[in-house]
Amino acid sequence: MRIATAEEMRQLDAAAIEGRKIPSAQLMERAAEGILSACLALLEQPHGKRAVVLSAPGNNGGDGVAAARLLMEQGIQVRAFLVGRREKMTEDCKEMERRLEGCGGVLEQFHPASESQKAVIQEADLVVDALFGIGLNAPVRGDAAEAIHYINSSPAVVVSADIPSGVQADTGRVLGCAVRADRTVTFTCPKVGHYVGEGGLATGTLTVHSIGIPADLMEEWTESITAVDAAWVRAHLPSRPVDGHKGTFGKCYLLAGSVGYTGAPVLAANAAVRSGTGLVFLGVPETVYPIVAGKTLEAMPHPLSAAPDGTLAELALDQIMQKAVSCDAILLGPGMGRSAAVEQLIPVLMERLEKPLVLDADGINALSKHMDVLQRRRAPLVLTPHDGEFARLGGDLTGGDRVGAAKSFAQRYGCVLVLKGHRTVTACPDGRVYVNTTGNSGLAKGGSGDTLAGLLTGLLAQGMEPGEAAAAAVWIHGRAGDLCAERLSVRGMAPSDLTETFCRVFLELE
């Protein structure tokens, strides 16, 4: 699903209103219908329930005022408040107030010092947040900040119009304070702020509601940010010919493991097998080979020269090259350790291996000391850092813009960057960005990254384009995590459970 920036939505609305002559009040009414549907879904018996609508003077507030009227028509007791100065009301917002008055409603002025108004919000069954829309770019202050505080302290269910007030649409940053919604109804397209950063936590359940803007207007967009969902993954997974053989589905090579880290290569290899790739080769230091070989059935491990500390020795280079050059995709890093030999091997392999390459965990740590190799590498490269590893690579998240930071890094270094975290962001060197929509805190356990890296490498070996393989792997990994959580709980699920669950995800996608 396409994600829109605030500027794109502004241009889209203008094109619909000015170019296609669609009345702006008509778009506002349709937005209100979406808010109404979300409210009714949260109220089991709407008739007689108490609702509060808090609207600012702008057009987002107009959506709320229109929703207040529709809620009244459903038999809901509604108190509507204007948060801000009445003289700043837009013409459409004024029109919605006239329509509200026409059916007996009143748009009252909000007074944060009023104990009676505070009590009304506290006693409501439903609160509609229609304060700020997607154009917010300054910290929330004054009466609006007080209104947000009242909303968040109310036991009522909360529905936000377009985006939770206080969330910056293009980054997910909270500007001062923000509404914590149970459900957010956004219009035409989702926004970055619904998924990433604190905005992703404030949004609650997201509903995308069409307000009637012609779909062909979106074709003129130059940005390309996609919210990855099941339909997108289904459309991009490689086909499996009925007469295919092992070679048809690719070969991948994984270089992983060291003394003390024998689980990482096993998890990565098992995930690669479950990805559907034809053959999985696994190179590990000879010191841990017996352990790894005893835990892998479908993958084919082989021993490599090891240093006294149980990590790979530099002598392993030729052995690695002999195995890796015949494979279609390669993974370097999980559990390899941070020895001097590993730090020397990784940049050499990055330069010599001319196949799609995934760098994870200790592979990323080694790269951080040899960033110049990125300028010399020509074959596709996928990096999978979490925030700490991203910082070691020179990435900057201090501005709170995860999408912008990932995109800038990917374009600067000509790689695919998978910035892991809540709603993982995948950025491509050509400017495409994918935002994940699956996953939960049960994935925040050692070993989860190894399963993701193995799955991703397996999809690359099957011929997927690197950016699409990364985005698909992240979604599948997260969806498996969601299914595991349903069965085992987020607390009790383990990374090894994910690999088995990949099968269920693939069945859903058929």
Res 231: pLDDT: 97
Residue 265, Cα to own-chain centre: how many angstroms?
26
Contact 105, 29 (CB under 8 A): no
Q: How far apart are CA 216 and CA 199, in angstroms?
A: 29
**Whether residue 165 has pLDDT greater than 80:** yes
Res 219: pLDDT: 77
**Whether residue 57 has pLDDT greater than 80:** yes
Q: Determine what percent of the chain is predicted with pLDDT higher than 70.
A: 100
Res 222: pLDDT: 66
Q: How far apart are CA 152 and CA 161, in angstroms?
A: 15
Chain segment 278-317, per-residue pLDDT in tens: 999 999 999 999 999 999 999 999 999 999 999 999 999 9
Sequence-distant (≥ 6) Cβ neighbours of residue 110 within 8 angstroms:
54, 81, 82, 83, 84, 117, 143, 147
Buried b (16+ CB within 10 A) or exposed e, 313-325: beebbebbeebbe
Chain segment 360-385, per-residue pLDDT in tens: 999 999 999 999 999 999 999 999 99
**Whether residue 172 has pLDDT greater than 80:** yes
β-strand 433-435 against 183-187: which pairing, if any? Answer: unpaired
Mean pLDDT of 106-115: 97
**Whether residue 46 has pLDDT greater than 90:** no
**Whether residue 220 has pLDDT greater than 80:** no
Res 221: pLDDT: 73
**Whether residue 322 has pLDDT greater than 90:** yes
- Say how many Å lie between the first and final Cα of the chain, rounded: 19
Mean pLDDT of 244-255: 95
186, 143, 142, 189: which is closest to 167 by C-alpha? Answer: 186
Mean pLDDT of 87-95: 97
Confidence label for 112 from pLDDT (cuts 50, 70 and 90): very high
Q: How far apart are CA 317 and CA 324, in angstroms?
A: 10
Dihedral pair phi/psi, residue 227, rounded to 5°: -85, 115
Q: How many CB atoms lie within 10 A of CB 136?
A: 24
Q: Determine what percent of the chain is predicted with pLDDT higher than 90.
A: 96
Q: How far apart are CA 284 and CA 506, in angstroms?
A: 29
Confidence label for 407 from pLDDT (cuts 50, 70 and 90): very high
183, 177, 212: which is closest to 198 by C-alpha? Answer: 177
Specify the range with the lowest mean pLDDT, choosing from 32-41, 223-232, 256-265.
223-232
Residue recorded with tokens 């989702």: 190
**Whether residue 396 has pLDDT greater than 70:** yes
